[in-house]
Structure 1
Amino acid sequence: MNITIKGPGEIVVRFIDQNGKALLQETIRVSGSGMVEAKRDINLSLETLSGQVLVSPVLIQQGEKQQVTFDGEHHSSFTRKRCQEIGCTQNITEDAAHGHAQPLQEGAIHLPSAQK
């Protein structure tokens, strides 16, 4: 999946499993003029001790003037479709589409901030 960020600021994306559990969080900071655009490719499956887990991205935070898309779609539309694909319940799907996901728990993966 490709994350595209237009405009400077910081975004936070959590990646949840079908049960709504946050397994990974990534913070991406973009610096520059208002015309700056950054792209980040990320896999939507994670390797865990229990095996491969399919995940959905959830945009938790974004800068006031930033535009964020996932694979060219509005982030909430993409998240809603992806949650349905991986088997999330309706409640988890709607919460995720509105930018709500559980905080990371101990043992989850924190990727260092990526500066673009």
Structure 2
Amino acid sequence: MGAVWTVRTLLIASVAVTAVAMVDATISRSWDLVAVTGIALGLQIAALGGATRRRHHVHLRADLAVWVNDRAAVSGETVEALVDRALSDFASRVAAPPPLAGGPGRE
């Protein structure tokens, strides 16, 4: 599922643990701990928002996913960089205007 999914999962777990700690600190009336956990909770929620907005997920067919993983292993390139490059190349070819009629290669 990728690095973004892993970071998101860890941040969600961290937010849950910090929220429980904040509730416990509130019940025990430890106001300095409430403040510290509140700040930590706010920072974690902000980081969670940033982690989920950075990248869009691309779902690949199984055969393409195998090819991308194999190619990344051989080239030493990350899967994300390889997919970025492949999609950029594809987009440039799709967006390129078609050759003019009567131009080179046309009869």
Q: TM-score, normalised by structure 1?
A: 0.22
Higher relative contact order by CA 8 Å / sep ≥ 6: 1 or 2?
Answer: 1
Which structure's residues are more often helix, by fraction?
Answer: 2
Choose between structure 1 and 2: higher strand proportion. 1
Q: Return the TM-score normalized by structure 2.
A: 0.23
Q: Which protein has the larger Cα radius of gyration, Structure 1 or Structure 2? A: 2
